[in-house]
Amino acid sequence: MGRGGHGFDNGAVTTVLPDSLTLGSVRVETPVVLAPMAGITNAAYRRLCAEQGAGLYVCEMITSRGLVEGDETTKKMLVFDELETVRSVQLYGTDPVYIGKAVEILCADHGVAHVDLNFGCPVPKVTRKGGGGALPWKRGLLGEVLEHAVAAAAPYDVPVTMKTRKGLDDDHLTYLDAGRIAQESGVAAIALHGRTVQQAYSGEADWDAIGALVDHVDIPVLGNGDIWEAADAVRMVEQTGAAGVVVGRGCLGRPWLFRDLAAAFHGEDVATLPSLGEVKTMMRRHAELLSEHMGEERGCKEFRKHITWYLKGFPAGGELRHRLALVDSLASLDELLADLDDAAPFPERELGTPRGRQGAPRKKVVLPDGWLDDTDGRGSHLREDADEATGG
């Protein structure tokens, strides 16, 4: 078995685990980054995760055009918790000038300490316009975008990183070129999701590609894909030599994963197995934080999507789950949570299993007409929507 999959590679060279991550002027106490996820990684969720353990907790992705043009939806997403000492934002865009302006606004007006650029999103409405995971095919355009971002952030001593995928599909790989261009452009680190755009979130992540990128560049590489438990993160770093990990779907309904990750990177073997009573406490805290940031009614409505993830594998009847999915106040949430069995043990069969969206691979990647005709693309960017919001 290679670096991907779910078995241990006995041929891997064991490395000394990193216990921190340095991105330019930013030092992260644990080499763990929360992947931006639309509608998930808002200020409340980032606070909840940060209460569990140190890491870099990245805001939901916003668009450069939305920020530059003052889009109200974009502004509302740029909310930070009062205890967020390191403000980290993921930015999406296809126009180098807009990207540069947006980075300057983030640094100058919002006190952002780290900017990540999204070149990994597989959603068709994004790739159709040459954005997200499609953009690295245009090597020249990628270099332009990165150079504008780095130049805009430099006066503020703010590091710029990028997130990408292996490529469009197995016949159109871009990640090694993307790593070289990132390094040449002054990017502080590159995160690689070990899947192609065509794969989306299906199948298994290719950790061999992460290892290949580590060997190819001198800047830190962060590995992303199939980290469901802290042990997976340790295995990925040992097998690939990555400087740290990016965790997305694995933490859905399990913010305590960041506690396990912090312990693992500091030499402890921890796997938190909370009882349903302890999970209830976490659920209540999550809803409370959402209510503080958004108001109680909206906060509780936002919390609904998390119910299924928190209760995955636990005994909870269909009627109770249905009522929880309609919760509209903290009082009603408390009333319903009281009906859950505090003593129910954590369902260990759920350990190591995928969470969140998976789906099937796409039949083909949706691209602008003629996108594959050349690999340079300078000046060929298409105008993105101001309110694009997704992840990669």
CA angle 43, 220, 83 (to 5 degrees): 20
**Which of 199, 179, 58, 225 is closest to 122 using CA atoms?**
199
Q: What would you measure as the largest C-alpha separation in the chain, in angstroms? A: 61
- What the block records as the tokens of 201 is 């979130």
Strand partners, 23: 26
121 is catalytic: yes
Q: How far apart (Å, rounded) are the C-alpha atoms in residues 350 and 346?
A: 9
Q: Are 290 and 357 in contact (CB under 8 A)?
A: no
CA atoms within 13 A on the CB side of 102: 34
Residue 173 per-residue DSSP state:
B
- As a whole number of Å, the CA-based R_g of the chain is 20
Distances (CA, A) of 44 to 116, 179, 290, 352: 20, 33, 5, 26
CB 294 within 8 A of CB 76: no
Catalytic residue chosen out of the listed positions 49, 121, 251, 300: 121
Q: Given CA atoms 132, 138, 185, 32 in this order, what sign does their dihedral have?
A: positive
| Upper half-sphere CA count for residue 357 (Cβ side, 13 Å) | 16
Tokens of 34: 């929360």
The C-alpha angle 338, 343, 344, rounded to 5 degrees, equals 95
Among all residues, which ones are annotated catalytic? Answer: 121
